[in-house]
Amino acid sequence: MKTFLPIAAMAVTAFVTLCAVVFCAAGGANSTPAQIRALKLWMAGLTLLGAAGVTAGILLLRAGQHGWAAGAAILPSIIMFVILIVAMIIG
């Protein structure tokens, strides 16, 4: 049961990362080349953030740090939700 929470956090982070990348891709439909370039950088950054969170979760889980693994795995999702909220407020 201890390993369920970190694995669930990794699955949530993978799903949120996919949703964030698709959201960025959908936002570039009628954009200028400069805006598309910026969106590609955002997509790359979000993908790296999600991958780093899942990788850190796996490494901490293998080290036996279940609580830290869950925290490291869910942190990118929290950051992406904050980015989404700020983008909605500003935009």
Write the pLDDT tens digit of every residue in 2-27: 899 999 999 999 999 999 999 999 98
**Which residues, 6+ apart, have CB-to-CB distance to 12 below 8 Å?**
73, 74, 77
Write the pLDDT tens digit of every residue in 39-55: 999 999 999 999 999 99
Q: Distance between CA 13 and CA 19 in Å, rounded?
A: 10
Give me the percent of the chain exceeding a pLDDT of 70. Answer: 99
Radius of gyration of the chain (CA): 15
pTM assigned to the model: 0.90
Write the pLDDT tens digit of every residue in 61-71: 999 999 999 99
Per-residue model confidence (pLDDT) at position 91? 72
